[in-house]
Structure 1
Amino acid sequence: MTFKQIVWKMAKVHYKKYIFYFLCNSLAVMFFFMFMTVYFNDQIVQVKESESIKYLLTVPGVALVVFTVFFIGYAHSVFMKRRRNEFGLFMTIGMSGRDISKLLLLENGVIAFFSIISGILAGTIFSRLFFLLLMNSVGLQAVPFHLNSEMFMYSIIIFLIVFTIAVGQSLFLTLRQNVIHSLKSDKVTESIKLKSPLIGGLGLAILIGSIVGLYYTYSDPAISGDYLLLWAMATFMGLYISLHQFTSFFIAFAKKNKPFYYRRLLFLANLDYKFKQLTSILMLVTAMIMVTILYSTITLFTYMLTEKEAIDSNPYDMAYIQTENKNNLNSEELYSIVDQKENPINERLLIPIYSYYEKHPYQDWINVYNFMSVDHFNQLTSSQMELEDKEFLYYINDELENEGDEGDQGISFSFPNIKGEETYTLKETIAERNINNLPDLYDFIIVSNSEFEQLNNKIDGFESNLHLINVANWKQSSNTVEELTGSFKNYNEKTPPNADIRTEHYSEEQLFQVASKVQSYDRNKSSNGISFFVTTFLSIIFFLGSFFLLYINLFSDIDKEKDRIKKLNNIGITTKEVKKMISREITTLFFMPTILGTAIALLYIIAMATDIGGVMKNPEIILHFFIVAGIYHCIQVGFYLYARKKMFSYLTGV
């Protein structure tokens, strides 16, 4: 019998390990290809260029690369662990190191080839399915599913690089081992060199300290998320140390309660061994669960606030600036466009504004002074303010987060004046949003009616009218806004372009745009909807990845577990007791990373929410967290019950 025949016969007998290895590599290719169908989607690339979605994609992308490296490397190490005793046997019957190298390269080459084909095929099918389901669920039709060369190229290249490194490392280690060590490789137990409850406590302290540091960082608006990466690295370092020494830390306390400890001695000893051998995997799974729940919660919270953001940033359904030669439609033309029978105008305000632009003598910016009369201010804000000559109100068109941010009252201020400087006294500072987001209309100087009428003689500025319009149903005003914008564009093209200080920082199109609720809503819905879709898409990939990692953990050494169960049966431990012990171990390995990852995600959300006023001012974010975490845990329970049933079937035949 030739070497090839022997190898082929052994491969047929142990075909399950080849299928397992092939499926792991196919899954890795599938996960990465699914991510690439999102990352290189043409529509998402356009949004990515201008929105925060670039960061949203980059961080999970790096995490996915790390996961792929670890997943492929771990699957390969499990496969090779089962093969080393076979290689030792081949060496005893005369096979050389060169023959084993050829065999390894041939096997892995064939598996890699079919893994790429099956992974890309499965990735295409599931990506298409997820695109259809998720895009319909978030109401987006503007992101079509398509394939391009970059998706295939990056998926194949990254997989081959990781796969080649894993195979090369295994080949090097296999050829270095002698025959005896290879034959006994599946009989050797990995030693645990370090058991220190003190180090476990130190890891827990680092973990808690990183979250406390994150909280105080986000409490300071000046630095906010600048140190997020630093605290995240500290969190993962503390997490790794804590997981590695968790059972030693727990056992040290358990020993103080002798009855509790000795009733669970076998379970605790075996769990201690598994935790230390599987620290990297448990840490990776915990991190994936944490990132999945954290990102999903934040994105869901942002997506659900899409309408609120549009309303808050645009108090009126439509707003625009009109000057003598820009956006200057007469009332008849304006009403013919906006005042539709099915969606009529409910309210219209016209507020005269006088603006003075002053270029800073030493810096490259422009100071803008927007003047408004007190009567029009009262009309805008429904207030009853009164001003004497030489008094003014400072009005900020924004909701300030902290009281006292408006500035000091009772100060004097000298306005630019072509006849010299004229001093006015600040009576009060008011901060509330009443005007849509329009360029250079962030703050206003409110003066008496008589002073406002004299501004033309005092300051060389620009007159304009601020139009504020409400209609019956702003969500149905999209066509109206488009038509109004088109009419303004046609009108403005027929008038001379502005060539003054106002257009140095803003284009004419920006200065005379229509700021509307519906446009802001559609824009936010598109951006937040894509972010929500991307995060959900990545969460599904991360969830499946974390489950498969745990599943591989449980079943990679199933033969050793069978031997252990037989030995336990030989010393009198019943099948019922064995099932109870197995159930405890699986439950701990499945739900320890899940609970820990969920807890860390919750603490991160509480810390990061301080940047927007804290969770007490934004209770919806906690509600969204529990929704995401609840869904995640429900699905995890389903996978856990399946894995436990399979484990019982393999080990006890029940």
Structure 2
Amino acid sequence: MTFPQFVYRNVVRNKRTYSAYFLSSAFSVLIFFVYALFIFHPDIKQGVTSAVAVQLMTAAEVIMYLFAFLFVLYSVSTFLKSRKREFGILMMHGMTRSQLNRMVFLENMLIGIGAIILGIGAGIITGKLFLMIGSRMIGIDSLSFYLSFKALLLTICAFLILFFCISLFTTILLRVNKLIDLFQAGEKPKKEPKASVLLSLFAAVLLLLSYYLAATTTMGTILFRILPVIAMTIVGTYFFYTQLSVFVIKMLQKNRFFFWKKTNIITISSLAYRLKDNARMFFMVTIVSAVAFCAVGTLASMNIMNKQFKDDYPAAISYTAMDDQPVQQQNLQQIKTELNNKGIPYTTSSAVIKNVEVASENTGYRYPVKDIDIISFSDYKNIAKSAGFDVHEKPLTGNEALAMLYSHNQMEFKPVMYTLKQDKIKLNAKKLSKNVAIPFRAGLIVSDELYKKLKPVKTNTFTGFFTKDFEKTAGIAKKLAPEGSSYFSENHHYEIQVSGTMYQNQMNMFKTMLFVALLIGAVFFIAAGSFLYFRLYADLDYDRRQYLTIKKVGLTDQELNKIVTQQLALLFFVPIVVAFVHSAFAFMALQSYYSLSIVSEMVIVLASFLIAQLIYFFLIRYRYLRNLKKTLI
């Protein structure tokens, strides 16, 4: 038997241990290849949305590649630690250090090349399906299957370099100790796990503080808190597994009533060692899973922005004229003609926006406000009613004012006082208007009496076209807004927003980002499952000896099933539950960014991941029990 044949058979014999790592690597190659198919597809280069989709997928390629590098490196290093006994046997039979390095290098390359072939093969088979789904989500015509040579070459070269570098790196890190140490690697009695009370308390304080900061986050503080909260959560999670979890187990062991009940003595004692031995693995699974949950959840929550779109853009088409040139009336007539040609019923409402000079203000802005836009309460009321909103505000009198709500996602409002240059009129805006009148235009709403008295520096005329089915306005007024749905013309002095086109672009963008996030989230989640799988099978020999000893003193099959199920459930679900808790508080912070509730979207995302984890758990439990019982018969 030649040396390459020996390497090949060595990998095949350990296929059970390597299977999750191999399939996860192949899945990473598959998703990387699918992204490359999109990036290099000749029909996806046109349009603003398509260009952004290419940029997002290029960024996803980089994220995927970096994660794949870390995943493969961690996996290979874990396998090497679990094979010390095997290395001892080989060296006892005459294998040299250079041959051992060569064997490890060839094994890694063999698995890597196999993963590349399987991943690309699966990508070619399923490529058309991914292109169909992706094209629908991006909002372009159905993409025909196109096998790009560049996509193929990029995937092969990228992952060949990845597996080659890691294979070379692991041979450098491979430590060969004395033969007796290699043989006793799995036989040495483990030291009793210990936990520091101070570090356990430190972990609890960090996690509780990060949860409190996340739960009390507002739109004004979210940008300042996000990095400290993430840092505290990561550090707190690490010490949670290495210290706090062991401390809790020790406390349970002191509870004699609970600890000595039935099989709890075996489950809890074994759990203490598993938590300590697998702390780093639990930490990685938790962080990777939390990233996957948050990525998909954040993108899913963006659907709320689409739900509140009608509230942010009350008019299907908003046209603001900056002067009284004849072209303004021509533009408005053009919009009316296009609406009539499409058979879209509509109503119009107008408002004259007065721009007045400000003498002083106490808004707290870094730069002083020189002027401000003002509309009358009657115009605000008419616009709101045309959009189908209820006007809850009482009519303004005297110098009362309302700050115009320009978006439901605007920052926290603080009462402001403006002193106008005209007669030193003071306008005290204590509240925001309940509805958006003119999208993304900050200003004030004043009483009709005061509005008539104001002498503006300049005036703008807003005209809103209102219809129940604003989505049908997509594509209208293309000539007036050549750069997109929202456009400002310096030459013709007008602003225009077409809600239908904006909504279509926003939905396409949302679907594209969700498509990218779902694929990345799937890779992260499968990788997290792989960590658990090969950690479980790395301890299989030790578990066999342990359960065989216990069975000799009367352990029944039913009790064995119960113990194994409990330990596997803790192994699989402790990191996931912790990741769920992290994600839940992250979503609470995210909620501050939206005026509508995102609870339903978050529940769907977390429930989907939980169902996937349950399916994976029962599959692995069945296989693990079957392999375990083979040696106990």
TM range (shorter): 0.7 to 0.9
CA distance in 2, matches of 1:625, 1:130: 25
Is structure 2 residue 349 aligned with structure 1 residue 343?
no
CA distance in 1, matches of 2:195, 2:547: 26
Q: Aligned pairs, how many?
A: 604
After superposition, the C-alpha distances for 1:558-604 in whole angstroms (9 at most, x for unaligned) are 23322322222223322222222111111111111122211221122
Is structure 2 residue 471 aligned with structure 1 residue 475?
yes
**Structure 2 counterpart of 1:15:** 12
**Structure 1 counterpart of 2:92:** 92
CA distance in 2, matches of 1:108, 1:330: 67
CA contact (8 A) 2:17 2:537 kept: no
CA distance in 2, matches of 1:398, 1:14: 63
Question: Which segment drifts farther, 548-557 or 442-451?
Answer: 442-451
Question: Which segment drifts farther, 391-400 or 231-240?
Answer: 391-400
Q: Which runs of 5+ in 1 are unaligned?
A: 416-421, 490-502
After superposition, the C-alpha distances for 1:327-383 in whole angstroms (9 at most, x for unaligned) are 3218765543323473222x21233445469999xx999844445567645644678
Which amino acid in structure 2 is aligned with residue 624 of structure 1? E
Alpha-carbon distance, 1:225 to partner: 2.2
Alpha-carbon distance, 1:299 to partner: 2.0
Is structure 2 residue 577 aligned with structure 1 residue 624?
no
* Aligned counterparts, 1:27-106, within 5 A: 27-28=24-25, 30-31=27-28, 34-35=31-32, 37-38=34-35, 41=39, 67-81=67-81, 83-106=83-106
* Aligned counterparts, 1:283-432, within 5 A: 283-309=283-309, 311-322=310-321, 323-325=323-325, 326-329=327-330, 335-340=336-341, 342-345=343-346, 347-355=347-355, 367-370=370-373, 372=375, 376=379, 379-380=382-383, 393=401, 396-398=404-406, 405-408=414-417, 412-415=419-422, 422-426=423-427, 431-432=432-433
CA distance in 1, matches of 2:253, 2:430: 66
1:592 pairs with one of 546, 551, 574: 574
**Structure 2 counterpart of 1:493:** none
SS in 2 for 1:514: strand
Which amino acid in structure 1 is aligned with residue 439 of structure 2? N
CA contact (8 A) 1:293 1:625 kept: no
After superposition, the C-alpha distances for 1:596-651 in whole angstroms (9 at most, x for unaligned) are 21122112222342454xxxx64x32222222222221222111111111111111
Question: Which segment drifts farther, 97-106 or 39-48?
Answer: 39-48
Alpha-carbon distance, 1:252 to partner: 2.7
1:437 pairs with one of 436, 439, 442: 439
CA contact (8 A) 2:404 2:443 kept: yes
After superposition, the C-alpha distances for 1:519-570 in whole angstroms (9 at most, x for unaligned) are 2211221222222222222222222222222222222332332232222222
**Structure 2 counterpart of 1:636:** 613
**Structure 2 counterpart of 1:219:** 218
Which amino acid in structure 2 is aligned with residue 639 of structure 1? Y
CA distance in 1, matches of 2:79, 2:109: 14
**Structure 2 counterpart of 1:577:** 559
CA distance in 2, matches of 1:371, 1:365: 17
Is structure 2 residue 26 aligned with structure 1 residue 24?
no
Alpha-carbon distance, 1:302 to partner: 1.5
CA distance in 2, matches of 1:605, 1:637: 23
Larger radius of gyration: 1
CA distance in 2, matches of 1:452, 1:67: 63
**Structure 1 counterpart of 2:167:** 167
Alpha-carbon distance, 1:285 to partner: 1.4
CA contact (8 A) 1:338 1:344 kept: yes
Structure-2 change in CA distance of 1:413 and 1:68 (3 Å)? same
Which amino acid in structure 2 is aligned with residue 238 of structure 1? G
**Structure 2 counterpart of 1:494:** none
Q: Which runs of 5+ in 2 are unaligned?
A: 361-365, 386-392
SS in 2 for 1:255: helix
After superposition, the C-alpha distances for 1:463-497 in whole angstroms (9 at most, x for unaligned) are 543211113532222244447757x99xxxxxxxx
**Structure 2 counterpart of 1:229:** 227
**Structure 2 counterpart of 1:255:** 253
CA distance in 2, matches of 1:112, 1:473: 53
Alpha-carbon distance, 1:29 to partner: 5.0
CA contact (8 A) 1:29 1:155 kept: no
Question: Which segment drifts farther, 289-298 or 159-168?
Answer: 159-168
**Structure 1 counterpart of 2:586:** 604
Is structure 2 residue 467 aligned with structure 1 residue 465?
no
Structure-2 change in CA distance of 1:509 and 1:159 (3 Å)? farther
Which amino acid in structure 1 is aligned with residue 470 of structure 2? W
CA contact (8 A) 1:393 1:427 kept: yes
SS in 2 for 1:597: helix
Which amino acid in structure 2 is aligned with residue 586 of structure 1? L
What is the TM-score with the length of structure 2 in the denominator?
A: 0.80
Which amino acid in structure 1 is aligned with residue 39 of structure 2? N
**Structure 1 counterpart of 2:530:** 548
**Structure 1 counterpart of 2:389:** none
CA distance in 1, matches of 2:613, 2:439: 45
* Aligned counterparts, 1:139-178, within 5 A: 140-141=139-140, 159=159, 163-164=163-164, 166-172=166-172, 174=174, 176-178=176-178
Structure-2 change in CA distance of 1:290 and 1:384 (3 Å)? closer
CA distance in 1, matches of 2:625, 2:394: 77
CA contact (8 A) 1:192 1:273 kept: yes
CA distance in 2, matches of 1:605, 1:576: 41
Alpha-carbon distance, 1:147 to partner: 6.9
**Structure 1 counterpart of 2:623:** 646
CA distance in 2, matches of 1:195, 1:48: 53
**Structure 2 counterpart of 1:534:** 516
CA distance in 2, matches of 1:119, 1:444: 59
CA distance in 1, matches of 2:557, 2:396: 88
CA contact (8 A) 1:374 1:387 kept: no
SS in 1 for 2:466: strand
CA contact (8 A) 2:317 2:499 kept: yes
Question: Which segment drifts farther, 64-73 or 399-408?
Answer: 399-408
CA distance in 2, matches of 1:572, 1:510: 91
CA contact (8 A) 1:375 1:449 kept: no
Question: Which segment drifts farther, 552-561 or 105-114?
Answer: 105-114
Which amino acid in structure 1 is aligned with residue 573 of structure 2? F
Which amino acid in structure 2 is aligned with residue 574 of structure 1? T
Which amino acid in structure 1 is aligned with residue 626 of structure 2? S
SS in 1 for 2:425: strand
Question: Which segment drifts farther, 164-173 or 252-261?
Answer: 164-173
